[in-house]
């Protein structure tokens, strides 16, 4: 990504805070002006007031300098504090925009990118933004002011020596820019390796129970250490380049001091300048070196910060592949008629998961999808709320292509209950209220009662304020499932998608949840994906979906009489159940 393009985007984040930016720059410029004129004033006092015996004037001058440096101290505080506040606000804005943009990206983006990598870009890559936002423009601006200002002031002191000193500047600049690209590459590799460490850490912590159950702690340590070692080596390389850069700048600064003392001493010896001019010149060289050091610090911050901005922009420039049409309309007063017309879909653009699917789901009816794994049942359900976009064909709700509706209104009218339940770290009440964040406590309790979970919640010491733990780890599978059902009750959508919502539960818990799901489905258009075929016998229609598409459809009785794919699945499932009962019988008393 071109540096010019990166800087253009970065500079835009100064606009909302331009007042603070101007304050910072004005204060910094005033400080630079004070520093620039101090040697000249000192030279004047030393060369005129003291030799002339004007001691009273001299102490008035000292008093004025004292007041001037009190003002400088106040200005320095403003620069240090409010300058960093400016950077913090910009970092906040960028992190806010990045998170907002992540909310617009489809499932396809998250399928391709690991959570740890995304978190690294969100947190670590933007950490350096505060320093770059504050010190970047300030260091660059003040460096130019002090370099140019000290150059002209040095010309008034001794122009030959000034030209000799400034003849060394191009060599310093050449050295600085030579290592700029190398530092950039090193810091970019450092960012990537840090993202890998975060991704490995996130994966290991999320799967810690699996690792312990297989006694694979040492294996996890070794995998983490691989990434940690790469990160350490990347840091070595980045700091090596930084050390070469800063050492080189310091070397040129020291050479400059030697040149000034040597040439200046020679000029004093030759009567080309007096000792007061040499004193002022040495002081100005110290001032002259300040912008050089500022530039070296700026280079370091620039490479580190711009690398973070570049990685920030890499995500910001990812265009959402599922967006509202320019003339999109709100989905209101939903009846619930759903129709698939010649729908085809592929995750990778090659192998089709669905091919020419035609299906009508009448409003208020319950349609069950069954079939072998990989047949596209879950994919079919995920296409309705546009988690993924169809490759060809169209899906209609109430006779209108779903791409004509706004995403927000479409998804707000669809409820999804899955087998793999995700609960946010927080309280039970907060997780139920996620179905409708505007709902009051009475509505939350009513939803919990409908999901047959209220009595359990009230039996807990903290009731609805009970913490569920990360991903709901403190609750059983059935409890989490009923909380998720309560969440959908609270949302109260006209269209309901149930994706194997009970397949991982024991029979007793399944019966409880099945009753809650039946209550939830009443009066709604419902698509049910079921592994246990006994749970969908009463569906209005059962669709058998395989890799070849829809191969059978009808009621349970119709399909059993047909004696085809569905009846084979049904008999095989109950044959396995009978076999389990026979195996268990000898041990029963």
- R_g (Cα) of the chain, nearest Å: 36
Burial of 32 (0-12, 13-18, 19+ CB in 10 A): buried
CB 78 within 8 A of CB 26: no
Give pLDDT tens digits along the chain (589 positions): 577 788 888 889 899 999 999 999 899 889 888 887 777 777 777 777 777 777 888 788 888 888 888 999 999 899 888 888 888 888 889 888 888 888 888 788 888 887 777 877 777 777 777 778 877 788 888 878 887 887 787 787 778 888 888 787 788 777 777 776 677 677 777 777 877 777 777 777 766 656 665 666 787 788 778 888 888 888 888 888 878 877 887 787 788 888 888 888 888 888 888 887 787 777 777 777 777 777 767 776 777 777 778 888 888 888 888 888 888 899 888 898 999 999 998 887 777 788 888 999 999 898 999 888 878 888 898 899 898 888 889 999 998 999 999 988 998 898 888 877 778 878 888 888 888 888 899 999 998 888 888 888 899 888 989 888 776 777 887 788 888 888 888 888 899 888 876 655 666 666 767 777 777 788 889 898 877 777 788 888 999 888 888 888 888 888 888 888 888 888 887 665 444 444 444 443 3
d(CA 493, CA 495): 5
| pLDDT of amino acid 341 | 92
SS3 letters across 185-204: HHHHHHHHHHHHHHHHHHHH
| pLDDT of amino acid 213 | 56
d(CA 476, CA 454): 15
3-class DSSP state for residue 324?
coil
Q: Which residues contact 212 (CB under 8 A, 6 or more apart)?
A: none
CB 371 within 8 A of CB 350: no
Query: What is the DSSP secondary structure assignment for residue 272, as one 8-state letter?
Result: S
Length of the chain: 589
What are the structural domains of the chain? 3-316 (1.20.1560.10), 331-413+497-584 (3.40.50.300), 419-492 (3.40.50.300)
Beta bridge partners of 400: 397
Look at residues 113, 35, 31 and name the one whose alpha carbon lies nearest to residue 72. 31
CB 3 within 8 A of CB 48: no
The residue with tokens 């850069």 is 245
d(CA 351, CA 218): 38
Global confidence as pTM: 0.71
CA–chain centroid gap for 290, Å, is 37
d(CA 175, CA 245): 8
- Quick: pLDDT tens for 82-91: 888 888 888 8
CB 31 within 8 A of CB 75: yes
């Amino acid at each position: 990504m071109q540096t010019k393009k990166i800087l253009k985007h970065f500079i835009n984040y100064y606009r909302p805070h331009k007042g603070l930016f101007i304050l910072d720059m004005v204060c910094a410029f005033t400080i630079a002006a004070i520093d620039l004129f101090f040697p000249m004033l000192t030279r004047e006092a030393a060369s005129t007031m003291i030799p002339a015996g004007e001691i009273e004037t001299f102490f008035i001058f000292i008093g004025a300098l004292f007041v001037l440096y009190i003002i400088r101290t106040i200005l320095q505080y403003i620069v240090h504090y409010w300058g960093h506040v400016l950077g913090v606000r910009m970092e906040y804005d960028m992190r806010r925009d990045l998170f907002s943009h992540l909310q617009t990206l489809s499932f396809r983006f998250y399928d391709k990118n690991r959570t740890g990598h995304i978190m690294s870009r969100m947190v670590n890559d933007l950490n350096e933004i505060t320093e770059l936002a504050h010190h970047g423009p300030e260091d660059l601006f003040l460096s130019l002011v002090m370099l140019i200002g000290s150059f002209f002031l040095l010309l008034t002191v001794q122009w030959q020596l000034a030209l000799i000193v400034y003849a060394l500047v191009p060599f310093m600049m050449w050295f600085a820019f030579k290592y700029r690209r190398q530092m950039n590459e090193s810091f970019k590799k450092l960012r990537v390796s840090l993202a890998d460490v975060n991704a490995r850490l996130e994966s290991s912590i999320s799967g810690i129970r699996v690792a312990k159950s297989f006694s694979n702690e040492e294996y996890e340590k070794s995998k983490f250490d691989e990434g940690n070692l790469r990160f350490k080596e990347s840091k070595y390389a980045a700091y090596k380049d930084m050390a070469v850069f800063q050492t080189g700048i310091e070397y040129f600064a020291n050479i400059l001091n030697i040149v000034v003392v040597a040439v200046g001493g020679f000029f004093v010896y030759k009567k080309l300048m007096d000792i007061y001019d040499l004193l002022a010149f040495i002081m100005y060289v110290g001032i002259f070196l300040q912008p050089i050091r500022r530039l070296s610090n700026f280079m370091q911050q620039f490479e580190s910060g711009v690398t973070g901005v570049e990685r920030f922009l890499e995500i910001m420039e990812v265009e959402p592949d599922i967006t509202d049409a320019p003339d999109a309309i709100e989905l209101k007063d939903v009846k619930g008629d759903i129709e698939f017309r010649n729908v085809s879909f592929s995750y990778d653009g090659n192998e089709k998961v669905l091919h020419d699917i035609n299906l009508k789901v009448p409003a208020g009816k319950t349609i069950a999808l069954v079939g072998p794994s990989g047949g596209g049942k879950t994919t079919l359900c995920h296409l309705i709320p546009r988690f993924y976009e169809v490759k060809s064909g169209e899906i209609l709700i109430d006779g209108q292509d779903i791409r004509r509706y706004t995403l927000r209104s479409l998804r707000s009218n669809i409820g999804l209950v899955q087998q793999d339940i995700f609960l946010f770290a927080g309280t039970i009440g907060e997780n139920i209220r996620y179905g409708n964040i505007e709902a009051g406590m009475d509505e939350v309790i009513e939803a919990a009662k409908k999901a047959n979970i209220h009595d359990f919640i009230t039996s807990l010491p903290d009731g609805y304020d009970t913490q569920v733990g990360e991903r709901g780890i403190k609750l059983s599978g059935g409890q989490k499932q009923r909380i998720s059902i309560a969440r959908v009750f609270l949302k109260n959508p006209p269209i309901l998608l149930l994706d194997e919502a009970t397949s991982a539960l024991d029979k007793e818990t399944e019966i409880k949840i099945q009753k809650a799901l039946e209550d939830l489905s009443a009066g709604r258009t419902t698509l049910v994906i079921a592994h246990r075929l006994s749970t969908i016998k009463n569906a209005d229609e059962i669709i058998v979906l395989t890799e070849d598409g829809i191969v059978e459809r009808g009621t349970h009785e119709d399909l059993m009489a047909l004696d085809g794919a569905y009846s084979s699945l049904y008999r095989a499932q109950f044959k396995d159940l009978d076999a389990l009962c026979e195996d268990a019988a000898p041990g029963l008393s």
